[in-house]
Amino acid sequence: MGPGAGFGIVTSFLVILNAVFASLLSALLWPVSLIIRFIKRRRRQCKQLARRVVVLGLDGFSPHIAGQMMDSGQLPNLSSLRERGTFCNLQTTCPGISPVAWSSFQTGVNPGKHDIFDFLAPDRKRYLATLSSVKTGTTNSRLGFGSFSFNRSKSYVRLLRKSRPFWTLLKKYGIKSTILRVPITYPPEPLDGQLLSGMCVPDLRGTQGSYTVFSEKEPGTIYAGGIWQKLSKVNEQLWTGELPGPQENDDECAVIPLELKTSGKRITLKLGDRKISLVEGILSEWVELTFKSGRRKIKAISRFCLTVNNGCPSVYSTALHIDPFSPSLPISHPVYYSKYLAGLFGPFATLGLAEDTWALNNGAVSENIFLDQAWSIFEEREKMYFDALSRTRSGLVVCVFDTSDRIQHMFWDQGTAPDTPLHNMYLRMDELIGKTLSELGKDDMLVVMSDHGFTSFHTCIDFNRWLLSNGYLVLKDGVETVDTSFKGVDWSGTRAWSMGLAGIMVNMKGREGNGIVEPGIEAEELLTEIAEKLLLLETDEGERVINAVYPASNIYQGPYSADAPDLVIGTKRGFRAGWGCVTGGVGSKVIYPNTRHWNGDHCHDHKLVPGTLASNMKLDSFNASILDIAPTVMRVLGIRPPSYMDGKLLTGNEKEQ
Amino acid sequence: MIFDIIGSALTWVLDTILLPFRCLPPIWGLLFISLLTGLGMISIFRLTSNQEKISRLRKRMLGEVFGILLHVSSPKTVIGFAGRLIGSNTLYLLYILKPLLVIAIPFMLIWGQLDARYGSDEGDQNAYVTITVRYEDSVPKRDDITVSGRGIEVIPPVVMVDTLSQVSFRIAFEDGIISSLNVNGTASIVGSTGLWNGAIVLRGFDGSNSLKRLFCPWVGRPVLTDAGPVSGWYSLHAVRYGILGGHWSWLAVFLVFSSVFAIAGAKIFNVKI
Nearest chain A Cα distance for residue B96, angstroms: 7
Q: Are residue B134 and residue B199 in the same domain, yes or no?
A: yes
Domain-located, residue B257: yes
At residue A649 the predicted structure's pLDDT band, cuts being 50, 70 and 90, is very high
Alpha-carbon gap: A296 to the closest alpha carbon of chain B (Å): 15
The answer to whether the CB atoms of A7 and B64 lie below 8 A apart is no
Going by C-alpha positions, the residue among A282, A297, A305, A285 that lies closest to residue A245 is A297
Q: Is A74 exposed, middle or buried (0-12, 13-18, 19+ CB in 10 A)?
A: middle
Asked if residue B242 belongs to a domain, the reply is: no
The predicted pLDDT at position A655 comes to 44
Give chain A's mean pLDDT. Answer: 92
Per-residue confidence (pLDDT) for residue A653, from 0 to 100: 58
Q: How far apart are CA B104 and CA B158, in angstroms?
A: 41
Residue A207, CB-side half-sphere exposure with 13 Å CA sphere: 18
How much of chain B, in percent, has pLDDT values that exceed 70?
99
The four Cα atoms A342, A343, A346, A351 give a dihedral, to 10 degrees, of 10
Ordered domains of chain A (ranges, CATH)? 51-115+163-202+343-454+609-656 (3.40.720.10), 211-318 (no CATH), 457-598 (3.30.1360)
Q: Is the pLDDT of residue A222 over 70?
A: no
Q: Are residue B179 and residue B251 in the same domain, yes or no?
A: no
Q: Which residue has the higher pLDDT, A183 or A310?
A: A183
- Tell me, yes or no, whether B136 and B67 share the same domain: no
* Phi, psi torsion values for B64, nearest 5 degrees: -70, -35
Whether residue B61 and residue A15 make contact (CB cut-off 8 A), yes or no, is yes
| Per-residue pLDDT reduced to its tens digit, A354-392 | 999 999 999 899 999 999 999 999 999 999 999 999 999
Rounded to an integer, what distance in angstroms lies between the CA atom of residue B180 and that of residue B189? 4
Q: Which region among A126-130, A139-143, B73-77, B251-255 has the lowest average model confidence (pLDDT)?
A: A139-143
How many CB atoms sit inside 10 A of residue A652's CB?
10
Question: Would B241 be classed as within a structural domain?
Answer: no
| A122 residue type, one letter | P
Q: Tell me the average pLDDT across B157-175.
A: 85
Inter-chain CB proximity B56 and A22 less than 8 Å = no
Answer whether residue A5 shows pLDDT above 70: no
Is residue B64 a part of any domain in this protein? yes
| Cβ contact, residue pair B66, A346, below 8 Å | no
pLDDT band at A657 (very low <50, low <70, confident <90, very high): very low
Q: What is the pLDDT of residue A285?
A: 95
The Cα B251–Cα B158 span in angstroms is 34
- Chain B residue with CA closest to A340: the answer is B63
On the question of pLDDT at A151 being above 90, the answer is no
Structural domain total, chain B: 2
Non-local (6+) Cβ contacts of B85 within 8 A are A15, A18, A19, B61, B64, B65, B68
Strands A238-247 and A232-235, by their bridges, are antiparallel
Residue B64 sits in which domain range? 2-119+247-269
What is the arithmetic mean of pLDDT over B215-222?
88
Whole-number percent of chain B with pLDDT over 90: 30
Q: Which of A4, A26, A344 comes nearest B60 by C-beta?
A: A344
Asked if residue A222 lies in contact with residue A121, where contact means CB atoms within 8 angstroms, the answer is: no
Amino acid at A537: L
Q: Is residue B148 in some structural domain?
A: yes
- Amino acid A247: pLDDT: 84
Highest mean pLDDT pick, A249-258, A342-351, B102-111, B136-145:
A342-351
Q: Tell me: the pLDDT tens digits for A253-282?
A: 899 999 999 887 789 999 988 899 999 999
Same domain, B78 and B150: no
- Taking CB atoms and an 8 Å limit, are A30 and B75 in contact across chains? yes
Is B107 inside any structural domain?
A: yes
Does residue B136 share a domain with residue B74? no
Residues B143, B206, single domain; the answer is yes
Q: Do A1 and B73 touch (CB under 8 A)?
A: no
Q: Which of A78-87, A414-423, A586-595, B156-165 has the lowest mean pLDDT?
A: B156-165
pLDDT (tens digit, 9 = 90+) per residue, A13-43? 777 777 777 777 777 777 887 888 788 777 7
The runs of H, that is alpha helices, within A556-603 are none
For residue A223, the model assigns a pLDDT of 58
Does A4 have pLDDT greater than 60?
A: no
Q: Which of A20, A33, A344 to mutate to test the interface with B (most CBs of B within 10 A)?
A: A344
